[in-house]
């Protein structure tokens, strides 16, 4: 089978044209197809196959034969799927196992002969840089140390407020550690510590955040979520204290295979290597002593796309870009920015992060219009709470969800919102309710017609919330508008009033 694809350079791609990435790792192979090349690309298709290509590289110097067969079959399948998905560009990246194995080049040639795809085997330093770019794509301004643990290697990159610093790749992936150390944890500990001691620049990252990337470390994050009963099972920006996670990783590293097999959510293909992945994390955290550990769902693949963007596009806010894109795809009216300006007077003195979340909420204010009226609040709340947004913490995500719930008439004390309310402070939940009620008022007042909203305004004084409307539009004020104005005013401990402005003479 040969694919005939227009593999245009990134600068020639239209933003709406699909782009695919096949990531050939030491443990797994994954295909992700994105909706286009822009600041907040949306995965349209995502599939992973655990092949274990690197399981025998350390001992034999060659790729795992069973893994090669499985990989070739599935990459062929991926290629056929891509051919039917109207993809404009395909990037195939091979990492540690392929670059280190003596038969890695033969494996690459076989892929290219079977599929017509071009495979790029990247150096360890390039893998580290792209993984760091991935972290920056999802956590702009990240400041600390990034670590990407694959099956065959560990990449570490220093980050200085969004700028990539020192970087290194080391043969410390769990597949390699299992083989090189004979499955013995004390021997693996000595190997890991030896590599880390050879990196004097790690000292400058002590006490700063650590950003883990990679499937094995994400599995540890899920286990920790279950341990502490964290209410939101979303990996991106799951944050844990450095010492707390170090102790947890150490505990997992000491588990035997039977105990690991009993852990919820750990695949059998990963259970034999998970203790070694945990050990690598524990030793790294013991060395760096980070203030917090902030897990990133963005890594190599997202970094590749982020690296293709021009500088101005990379500077955009990933959350705002995602919300604007979602509003354009499923909203009825392009009025998010207008509502943002309209609600500003309700939150005088808010700081920049708060204004950013308010803007995101306004962009999402029409998210639930197509749902059944009885379930709009519930569906909008759950969708936003679980949406794969980047550039956002769990408490910020909860705020957006609470705004949407109030916007569609949900009760503040509804048991459904207990998860989100448990993630934010009481004052933050109250602000979310006020903003949601204001969005509800805006939609009721104008029916979503942005030009009408622009001709009205809200003002707040010590006693009154005043909605000002021009004389020629006073017909818009009805009982439902007055009731919703009063509800917003009550949330502000004011009374609601309507003022009619006369046109200038």
> Do 115 and 132 share a domain, yes or no?
no
> Do 196 and 236 share a domain, yes or no?
yes
Structure token pair of residue 73: 């079959």
Domain boundary among 269, 302, 335: 302
Say how far apart CA 243 and CA 218 lie, in whole Å.
Answer: 18
Q: Is residue 312 situated within a structural domain? A: no
Q: Is residue 93 situated within a structural domain? A: yes
> Do 42 and 82 share a domain, yes or no?
yes
276-313 pLDDT per residue, tens: 999 999 999 999 999 999 999 999 999 999 999 999 99
> Do 78 and 140 share a domain, yes or no?
no
Domain boundary among 122, 146, 178: 122
> Do 395 and 339 share a domain, yes or no?
yes
Q: What is the CATH number of the domain that holds 229?
A: 3.30.420.150
- Buried/exposed 83-119: b ≥16 CB within 10 Å, e otherwise: beeebbbbbbbbbbbbbbbebbeebbebbeeebebeb
Please check whether residue 41 is in contact with residue 33, taking contact to mean a CB–CB distance below 8 angstroms: no
Pairing of strands 87-94, 18-24: parallel
Please check whether residue 364 is in contact with residue 404, taking contact to mean a CB–CB distance below 8 angstroms: yes
Q: Is residue 28 situated within a structural domain? A: yes
Say how far apart CA 431 and CA 92 lie, in whole Å.
Answer: 46
Per-residue pLDDT of the chain (505 residues; tens, 9 = 90+): 444 444 556 666 655 599 999 999 999 999 999 999 999 999 999 999 999 999 989 999 999 999 999 999 999 999 999 999 989 999 999 999 999 999 999 999 999 999 999 999 999 999 999 999 999 999 999 999 999 999 999 999 999 999 999 999 999 999 999 999 999 999 999 999 999 999 999 999 999 999 999 999 999 999 999 999 999 999 999 999 999 999 999 999 999 888 888 887 777 777 789 999 999 999 999 999 999 999 999 999 999 999 999 999 999 999 999 999 999 888 787 788 999 999 999 999 999 999 999 999 999 999 999 999 999 999 999 999 999 999 999 999 999 999 999 999 999 899 999 999 999 988 999 999 999 999 999 999 988 787 788 999 999 999 999 999 999 888 888 899 999 999 999 999 999 999 998 765 5
Please check whether residue 218 is in contact with residue 303, taking contact to mean a CB–CB distance below 8 angstroms: no
Q: What is the CATH number of the domain that holds 75?
A: 3.30.420.40
Q: Burial of 340 by CB count in 10 Å (0-12 exposed, 13-18 middle, 19+ buried)?
A: middle
Torsion, Cα of 340, 342, 343, 346 (10° steps)? 140
> Do 360 and 422 share a domain, yes or no?
yes
**Vertex 39: Cα angle to 162 and 390 (nearest 5):** 65
Residues counted in the chain: 505
> Do 353 and 449 share a domain, yes or no?
yes
> Do 138 and 256 share a domain, yes or no?
yes
> Do 232 and 342 share a domain, yes or no?
no
> Do 238 and 190 share a domain, yes or no?
yes
**Vertex 295: Cα angle to 291 and 300 (nearest 5):** 125
> Do 24 and 170 share a domain, yes or no?
no
Sign of CA dihedral 19, 309, 121, 131: negative
> Do 342 and 478 share a domain, yes or no?
yes
Structure token pair of residue 354: 């708060």
Domain span at 51: 10-122
Please check whether residue 107 is in contact with residue 73, taking contact to mean a CB–CB distance below 8 angstroms: no
The total of other beta-carbon atoms located within 10 Å of residue 416's CB is 14
Q: Is residue 1 situated within a structural domain? A: no
SS3 content of the chain, % helix, strand, coil (to 5): 50, 15, 30
Domain count, the chain: 3
Domain boundary among 122, 141, 172: 122
Please check whether residue 177 is in contact with residue 242, taking contact to mean a CB–CB distance below 8 angstroms: no
Q: Is residue 156 situated within a structural domain? A: yes
Q: Of the candidates 34, 43, 38, which has an alpha carbon nearest to the alpha carbon of residue 15?
A: 38
For residue 51, what are the CA distances in angstroms to 48, 56, 64, 138?
A: 9, 12, 9, 27
Q: What is the CATH number of the domain that holds 457?
A: 1.10.3210.10
Return the beta strands (E) in 408-470 as ranges: 457-460, 464-470
| SS3 of 196-248 | HHCCHHHHHHCCCCEEEECHHHHHHHHHHHHHHCCCCCCCCCCEEEHHHHHHH
């Amino acid at each position: 089978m040969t694919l005939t694809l227009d593999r245009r350079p990134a600068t020639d791609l239209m933003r709406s044209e699909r782009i695919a990435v096949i990531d050939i790792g030491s443990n797994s192979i994954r295909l992700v197809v994105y909706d286009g090349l822009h600041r907040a690309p949306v995965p349209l298709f995502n599939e992973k196959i655990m092949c274990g290509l690197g399981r025998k590289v350390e001992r034999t110097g060659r790729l795992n034969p069973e893994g090669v067969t499985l990989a070739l079959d599935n990459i062929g399948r991926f290629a056929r799927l891509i051919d039917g998905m109207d993809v404009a560009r395909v990037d195939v990246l091979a990492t540690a196992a392929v670059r280190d194995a003596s038969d890695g080049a033969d494996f690459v040639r076989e892929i290219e002969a079977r599929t017509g795809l071009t495979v790029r085997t990247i150096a360890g330093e390039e893998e580290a840089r792209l993984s760091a770019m991935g972290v920056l794509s999802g956590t702009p301004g990240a400041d600390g140390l990034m670590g990407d643990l694959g099956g065959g290697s560990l990449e570490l990159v220093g980050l200085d407020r969004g700028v990539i610093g020192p970087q290194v790749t080391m043969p410390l992936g769990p597949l390699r550690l299992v083989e090189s150390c004979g499955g013995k944890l004390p021997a693996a500990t000595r190997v890991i510590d030896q590599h880390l001691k050879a990196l004097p620049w790690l000292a400058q990252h002590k006490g700063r955040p650590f950003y883990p990337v990679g499937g094995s470390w994400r599995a540890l994050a899920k286990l920790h979520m279950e341990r502490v009963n964290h209410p939101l099972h979303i990996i991106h920006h799951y944050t844990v204290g450095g010492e707390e996670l170090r102790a947890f990783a150490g505990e997992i590293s000491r588990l035997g295979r039977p105990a690991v097999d009993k852990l919820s959510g750990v695949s059998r293909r990963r259970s034999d290597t998970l203790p070694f992945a945990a050990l690598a994390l524990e030793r790294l955290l013991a060395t760096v002593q980070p203030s917090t550990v902030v897990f990133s769902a963005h890594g190599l693949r997202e970094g590749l796309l982020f690296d293709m963007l021009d500088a101005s596009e990379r500077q955009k806010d990933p959350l705002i870009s995602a919300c604007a894109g979602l509003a354009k795809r499923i909203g009825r009216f392009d009025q998010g920015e207008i509502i943002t300006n309209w609600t500003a007077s309700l939150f005088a003195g808010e700081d920049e992060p708060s204004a950013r979340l308010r803007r995101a909420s306004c962009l999402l204010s029409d998210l639930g219009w197509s749902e059944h009226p009885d379930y709009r609040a519930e569906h909008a709340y759950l969708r936003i709470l679980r949406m794969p947004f980047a550039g956002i913490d769990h408490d910020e995500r909860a705020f957006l969800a609470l705004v949407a719930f109030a916007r569609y008439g949900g009760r503040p004390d509804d048991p459904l919102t207990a998860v989100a309310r448990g993630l934010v402070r009481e004052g933050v939940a109250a602000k979310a309710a006020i903003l949601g009620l204001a969005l509800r008022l805006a939609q009721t007042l104008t029916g979503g017609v942005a030009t009408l909203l622009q001709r009205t305004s809200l003002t707040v004084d010590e006693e009154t919330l005043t909605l000002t409307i021009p004389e020629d539009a006073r017909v818009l004020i009805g009982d439902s508008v007055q009731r919703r104005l009063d509800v917003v005013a009550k949330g502000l401990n004011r009374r609601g009033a309507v003022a009619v402005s006369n046109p200038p003479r």
